[in-house]
Amino acid sequence: MSAQLDIPLVFDVCCGPPMFWFDPKDPRGLFIDKRRETHVRDARDNRAPIVIDPDILADFTRLPFQDESFHLVVFDPPHMHKHRSGLAGYFPKIYGTLADNWPDVMRQGFEECFRVLKPHGTLVFKWADSSVRVAAVLMNTPHKPLFGSRRGRHTHWYVFMKDSQSTSGAPHE
């Protein structure tokens, strides 16, 4: 893994366009994505382009950091399966898509997120039930969330803490 000097406290491992950040340039955050792109919207919309401009280009399944580097990790991977009918427009370009091997990718992503967390560090996981149910995704980590969304069929947030007492299993829906 890479040598590290002064790194931010918060690590967004697949930032895409960091839309849920109140300040996408917050110096406490380090933003990683596997792509750097700009998507210009229809001029009739009169909206700014969508910019994916991470600090570092990297894949969340192979993070270029030493073990136990971050206090807080944000994990908001693509939620839509690439073969979902009706998946068109800007959405897949901006947010990415899930490949057919998504369970393996999610398992590797969770492993990497926990690997780079400091002891008792926090992982915030965001998922939308657009193609794959959150319970199926959470089966790809041996860690049990502390708290988060327990109902609903839209966007879910889960908070995990890295410790030796974490257990496997999806929370009740």
User: How many structural domains are present in the chain?
Assistant: 1
**Residue 83 placed within a domain:** yes
Closest to 138 in 3D by CA, of 147, 152, 127, 154: 127
Q: Is residue 54 part of a domain?
A: yes
Only one residue has tokens 């002064």, namely 6
Buried b (16+ CB within 10 A) or exposed e, 133-163: ebeebbebbebbbeebbeeeeeebebebbbe
pLDDT score of 165 more than 60? no
Quote the domain boundaries for residue 89. 10-161
Quick: pLDDT tens for 6-51.
778 899 999 998 888 999 889 999 999 999 998 887 777 778 888 8
Higher pLDDT among residues 151 and 173, named by residue: 151
Position 171 in a domain: no
The answer to whether residue 173 sits within a structural domain is no
Does residue 167 lie within any of the structural domains?
no
In sequence order, what are the residues at sequence separation of 6 or more whose Cβ sits closer than 8 angstroms to the Cβ of residue 16?
Answer: 33, 52, 76, 94, 95, 96
Q: Residue 113 is part of a domain; what is its CATH number?
A: 3.40.50.150
